[in-house]
Structures are given as C-alpha cells and as structure tokens.
Amino acid sequence: QRTYNIPTASQVAAIWVEGHEPIDCMKRDIIVESKSNGLQRVSKL
C-alpha cells in the first residue's frame, strides 16, 4: 500500500492527454476545481 505526502503547495496543475492520434490544438476541455466554487469549465478565448 502506497502512502502519499500532503501537498506542500496551494495550487496544483495537470495536463491529461488521451488517445494515440495527433493532438488537435483546437479541441480542449479545461476544468478548474476550487475549494469554494467546485468545478468550473474554462471557455475558449
């Protein structure tokens, strides 16, 4: 069984890429989770 340390930073970021096809830069889904507002989808600029 693994034991993980508590995070030492208040902010964490991750990039998740699925599949084996070439990455299409125009297709993305960005979701931000905060303690106060839960999950929020970031719109395309």
Model confidence over 20-34: pLDDT tens digits? 777 666 677 788 888
- How many structural domains does the chain have? 1
Quick one: how far is CA 24 from the chain centroid? 17
Determine the structural domain holding residue 3 and report its residue range: 1-45
Whole-number pLDDT of residue 35: 77
Dihedral, CA atoms, 13, 4, 20, 25, nearest 10 degrees? Answer: 0
Does this model's pTM top 0.85? My answer is no
- The candidate with the shortest Cα–Cα distance to 7, out of 35, 31, 42, is 35
Quick one: how far is CA 44 from the chain centroid? 15
